Structures are given as structure tokens and as C-alpha cells.
Structure 1
Amino acid sequence: MLPLVAYGERVWVQSVTPADLTSYRVAVQLSAQRIGRWNPVNPDDLLWHLRQQSQDHRTFLVHAHQKSGGHDLVGKINVMNVVRGRFQSGTMGYDAYDPYAGTGLFAEGLRLTVGLAFASVPSGMGLHRVEADVRPGNETSAGVLRSLGFRREGHVRDMLWLESAGETRWRDHDTYAVTASDWPSPAFRPHAPLRITALVGGARGPERTALARRLALELGVPLFSSSILGSGADARPLWRLLADSPAGGVLEHSWETCEPGEANRELEAIGIRPGTVPEVSWALGSAAQDQLAGAGPVIEVDADARVSPKSVVALALRIRAIHVDHAL
């Protein structure tokens, strides 16, 4: 198997060799206290990685062109857990070493490594997607990823069984990723979350507001409800809140108080296609048609029936499906 190598202005990156074992131990021991806050520390684990080297498990070392502190190792980067087939995806884990941590050299090496991960075989790993998982609170690690244009994709509970600061337990992680089609990616590229919006209307009352709240929680978006504005309030504050929400939201309002076509005009002004915004009508069977906002597809909910958790999940999934189907 050929070594993978890339050269930068201040660092160079190469897949690991047996000659790296001694300098690796020195680098890890010098950095153990800082690394140990977030990751297990083992100065001898490079030998295990050496034995695992394959096209689907690569360990890269970042070397400084100008050596400092008794060794030239800026950091280690593992690209592993590769899934081929239709995924072509791998997971990246890494450590930066003293005295180079905080100098920007590791970020340069990480960029070179991601480039190798995306490069075609045999000069690279031929991946489509690279993921990195960071424990919440590790601002430095997450900041490096964002500086390379990685996007945050979500939060995963109890993801990894990790020792840290003398305690071993399941640890939550935030997932970041970038794809080959986006590489190289602009630094600190804004996130682009799926913007899901739904309107909730129909018969007034606390039950309608409770349904809207449960929907917002299941969809993972904010709730904007006119119930906090008082009786007779118009929808203008809700539209302003929605306009400033990058994730969309669930808007609950008595839509009969709006002017005809208001919902469509406001949604279009915000940049949301009305056809992608379903309208959940609470007690449509007993409510007049003029209680509808007149935006996208209507989903009826029977106010006389108990809305179970299963029903809320099904309703949220339907809203997502409408959004995706009409957005294509």
C-alpha cells in the first residue's frame, strides 16, 4: 500500500510509518495533560494503528517544516470507520501536540488530510464524506472544523464510551461533516439547516396551542404562537419572528383575523414557497373554511379525538414529507 503524502506551506502530512513511533511517544507525553481533558491518552497506541493501516483505515501525522520542542509532530489524524458502497464515508479523529497547538499549523495539516481523504485512489482514500465528532464544550476542536468549512449536522447522545479526566462513561458529541462536492469549503461557512415551516389554526383554545408546541418539539423548530400576544392580536409579529429564524418554525394563530392572501404574501416575502408550508387545521370539521390561512396543503386534526404521541409523530413526519416533496 502506497503512502499518502501532502505538502503545505508550514507543514507536511504523511500516513504513519514505524519510524514515527519514538517521536509520537514524545509528542503525546508532552501534551498529555491538555489532550486528556477530552480524549484518552496512550503514548503507545500508534503501534495498534500501524497494524490496522489499509485503504479504509489511515493514520496521518502532521509534521512541521521547522522543528520545535524536541520533535516535529504537530498532530495525529485518524480517518477510519470507512463505509464503502453507496456511502463512501469516513470518520475523522485527531489530536494536536505541544508546542504547536494553537499556532494554526494543525489546521493547515487537517486541511491537507481532508484533501487526501477526498482524493481518488491510489493518491487518496476516494471518500465522498468526512465526519468528525466533537464533545460539546471543546470549543477549540469545533472551531478548527468550522474554520475549514465543516457544517454542524446534529447532536448525538451517549455516542462514545470514553475516558476523560479520570472518568470513563458514555459521552455526547456534536457531529460535523463536509463532502467532496463542497471541498475546499469556505472558512466558517454558514450552516444551512433544513427550514421547515408549518401553520397551525382552527378552533381557538389551549388545546390548539398544546398541539402546536408538541409539533414544534417533534420537528425540532421554534414555536411562534399568538397566544402570548393576547386576544385579537394580528400575525405580523409572528411573520417577523419567522423571517429571522434560519430553521423555520411552527406558527400558531387564528388565521381568520388575517387579510385574504396574507399568508402567501408574507411567506413569499420571507423567501419560503407557500406550497411547502402545510397548514394544520384543528377541528376543521366544525370550523369554518375561512379559518384557514390559505397557504399550502391542509392537514385536518379532529379536536374531539385524543392526539396521542404516535399521532404527533405521524403529523410531524407528514409535514416534513410535504416540505421535501414540494421543495424539490
Structure 2
Amino acid sequence: MILFLGLSPGRAGAAEGTAEQRPFLAYLASWAEVATQDPAKTLLARLPGSISHVALGFVKPDLAYAGDLDLSGTGLAFPFSGTILKDAIAALKAKHPDTRVLLAVGGWGYFGWDARDFRALAQLVKDLGADGVDLDYETADSGCARTPDGAIACADDARAITVLADLRAALPRPYVVSLAGWSVGAYGEGRFAASEPRYGPYVGMMRALLKSEAARGLDLVSVMSYDAGPNYQPLEAFRAYRSLWSGPLALGIQVMPSDAGGPRFTLERTVKLLQEVLADPKAGAMLYGLGLVPPGPTGPDNPDYRALARAICVTLDRAGCEAPVP
């Protein structure tokens, strides 16, 4: 068994009764899936049960979906039909019934929030046999700025809150609704007023949303704690989000090197970052994303998604870490 920095599954010291509750959400890049007509051979169907949530990326908010598992207008880029996808989800859940499969709606470039069709999105979730939606609320410019009294206000606040409320109304519990929080989205006020980077139109963009009544509709929040420049500190972002959200909170780990600069998520850095949040019993991890392979030879300092997934699993002390990620 390969161990990471002295850690092994079932290590002593994990909080009793909390290890299995720690979220491990992993995005699966639809465009990086296996091109196959056999649902059992898809990456999705072969995932281990150590991953608690799998988010399939990405669906357009303004998707066109009329039924019959036709994915052509949804934004998803799987190299197979919706029927194969449905069967792959069923195969995964047959092996791991506790795994939650989510459709990730939004993401960079999918900005059609004003033309959102959450009725169609909910129908797609139900037709595929999925468990809910991951809200990746991104915009070309959130228009966040500091007010004269030092608070953060964003031109997009009202719409963001309405989007979440509409999504939960379309998919009432027990469907899962999770949120992908922008890297600096919880900065800008109080003890996080000077957190770096402290300027830009996205600083504080999630504050109003997470303080709103609509946030009661969330089941999980993950922090996209990457792609924010060399001064960005993932642990500071985690603390900022924790100040706004008391539920399950996942620290984001990225497979690909950042286009904005900053250190790589090596195996050692990943483990050390996650060890710093383990005192929080509701802390977990998010991985972006399954199927993505970094440039150059892979190794501890340039890990692929498989190595990062295993390092995350072991550090969170989840069950089933010995099962390989395909």
C-alpha cells in the first residue's frame, strides 16, 4: 500500500464519528471522459466509493433540454449519449449507493443566468438519475466594490441570491444543492478586509449570498481555492468562508497548474493544507478535476488527478482509499 507522508487509512487521531462525514467532492470533466459505448467502462462508473460527491461539469444555466436524454443543448461534452450517461450513473450508484452524483451548472463562460431554465435542469437531473446540482455561479464581472463605510457590495448580489433560491425551489430536498465558492468570494470585510488579493471585481462576491436566507438551501460549500495569484492563501480563504457558512466546507485542490501564478498543488502541499483544516469536523476537500492530466511527466511535484485523489482520501481518513481511481 502506498502511503502519503506517513499517513495511512484509519490513522489514529481522526475525530471519532467525523471521518466518514467529511465531504470529498470531485469534479468530473465531461470532455475528458472515456469515449465508449459501454457504461461500465466509463470513468464515472469506475470511480471508488471514497469520493462522496461527483459533480459532472458543466451544464449551461440556460440549457436547452426537452427530454429523451438529449444532451446536445445542455453544455455537457461527454463523448457518448445521455442514455450511456444515465446507465453509468446507475452503475456507479449500484456499487456505491452513498455516492451523490451532481450536475455542475455554470462555470466559466456559461453566464446565461438571466435566461436560466431550472425547470429543464431539474428534469435533466431526474431523467439521469442524479442526486442534485452543484451551483458554480460565475459571471464575467460581479461588480463588487467597497462602500464608503468599508463594506463590500456587488452589483450581482440580488441575482445571485435569486438564482440559488430558484434552484432550490426547482429541486427541493432530498435533492442536494452545493455551491462552488469563488476564490476571493468571502474576502473584503471584518478580519478578512485585507486578505490578499484584496482588490478586484470578485472580492466578496459570495458574501451576500451566504448571509442570505437562500443559503439555508445549501448542503455543501466548496472553495475554489486556486487561480487567484501568487499571494493567495487557500487556508485564509477557507477561514473566510467558514466565517459565513457553518455547514460542510471543502477546500479546493486543482490538478492543473494555475494560469494566474502561485504554487503548484504538489502531493506534499495538498496533504499539509488539508491537515491544517482537520480540526474542523465539517471540513473536507474538493478536487478539480477527474480526467484532467497536467503537462509534463507526472510525479509527487506534478501529480495527476489519481495521485491527488488518493492523497486527499488518505488525509481525510475516508474509507476505501485502497480502491484505485481509474
User: Which has the higher Rg, Structure 1 or Structure 2?
Assistant: 1
| Higher fraction of helix | 1
TM range (shorter): under 0.3
| Larger relative contact order, structure 1 or 2 (CA cutoff 8 Å, min sep 6) | 2
Higher strand share: 1
